[in-house]
Amino acid sequence: MARRRRRRRRRRPRPRAGTDRVAADPRFHPAGSALTLGQAATLAGGTLQGGDPALPVTGVGPLQAAGPGEVSFLENRRYLRLLAETRAAAVVIAPELAARMPEGLPAIVTAQPYLGFGRIARALHPVPAPRPGIHPTAVIDPAARVAEGVEIGPYAVVAAGAEIGAGCLIGPHAVIGAGVVLGEGCRIGAHASLSHCIAGRFVVLHPGARVGQEGFGFAVTPEGRFETMPQLGRVLLEDAVEIGANACVDRGSQTDTVLGAGTRLDNLVQIGHNVTAGQACVFVAQVGIAGSTRIGNGVQMGGQSGISGHVEIGDRAQIAAQSGVMADVGPGEIVGGSPAWPMRETLRAFAALRRLAAKPPAKAG
């Protein structure tokens, strides 16, 4: 019996030439100001163990590729073996793993190594600030309002009644539609388009994102023809919402489509009309949420999963990749499969199906 379902040995990833170089190619990621190791530890919210606090830190990199002057991190035990061979100047690491640090290798010890490492990386490579100014080719309607410190790139179009908040960055070819409001510090990527939208502060649209267009609503005449239902709502994007490349968020038909503060959409996600999502939700690439579904706070959806319309998803629910949710999911529930069931049930179903597949079929009767 055991032979048929031999567990696949998980092979260790083999490095590929050319991808183990330290990541930050100065061609694309010019280094900002250097830090000292002591400053790095402070930024990371950690304690420096060993090492010279005055040591210059010039970059970051993964354990297998970082070199002198570069800081790395370890959060997943799976990569412990890389610690022994690393040439990093220091490693951001959790307390429970700090004892595994090789002799003489400085550690920045913090309960959140990934977060701390990110803050060091960010200090070394800050988000480029907007360079205030409007490219001469940008078309800005006289009835649009553009605040101070805004950067507007070549061929961007800002329509009548739009309001762009202080310090926004509007990329090349972006289209900001009539009446659209962007709070301060928003970043709109190349080729993105917004209409019928009110956005808060620090909202990010990645290239090609589409926000505010007409949702998929129509009535059917007795003769079988489709008549578009006017889509009279808007899209409301709360502070720090991020929308991935080529993702789409349709405006509401009768109410608004709302994404709560901090919610992030990965690339190619689809949000149907009238969907509301709470704060700090995470929708991984190619997720689709059908119209009028209501999603709570902190909901996580794995890649390519989907939710049908008019369904309610409770706070902190987790929806596995490729799932198909067709019914309400309660707060904190974990579901998977298509149709989606509680994950324990889904896993038992897969196991049962695999055992069933291993049996020879019964003789036809």
Catalytic annotation, residues:
273
Give me the residues paired with residue 169 across strands.
151, 187
280 contacts its own copies (rule: CB under 8 A): yes
CA distance 66 to 74: 12
- Contact pick of 36, 100, 308, 315 for its own copies (by CB under 8 A): 308
If residue 307 lies in a helix (H) or strand (E), which one and from where to where?
Answer: strand 306-307
- CA 324, 330, 331, 333 dihedral sign is negative
Q: Does 14 bind its own copies (CB under 8 A)?
A: yes
Q: Does 10 bind its own copies (CB under 8 A)?
A: yes
- The token duo for 347 is 């896993």
Residue 350 is which amino acid? F
Task: By CB under 8 A, tell whether 151 contacts its own copies.
Answer: no
Helix (H, G, I), strand (E, B) or coil at 350: helix
Q: Is 315 in the site for its own copies (CB under 8 A)?
A: no
266 lines the binding site for its own copies (CB under 8 A): yes
Work out how close the CB of 158 gets to its own copies at its nearest, in angstroms, rounded to a whole number: 10
Supply the minimum distance, in Å, between the C-beta of residue 50 and its own copies: 23
Q: Is 157 in the site for its own copies (CB under 8 A)?
A: yes
Tokens describing residue 128 = 């480029």
First to last CA, the chain: 26
Q: Is 234 in the site for its own copies (CB under 8 A)?
A: yes
Please report, as residue ranges, which positions from 82 to 111 form the binding site for its own copies (by CB under 8 A). none
Residue from 92, 168, 236, 317 touching its own copies (CB under 8 A): that is: 236
345 binds its own copies (CB under 8 A): yes
Given candidates 256, 301, 318, 319, which one binds its own copies under the rule CB under 8 A?
A: 256
Question: Shortest gap between Cβ of 103 and its own copies (angstroms)?
Answer: 25
Task: List Cβ neighbours of 318 (8 Å cut-off, separation of 6 or more).
Answer: 299, 300, 333, 334, 335
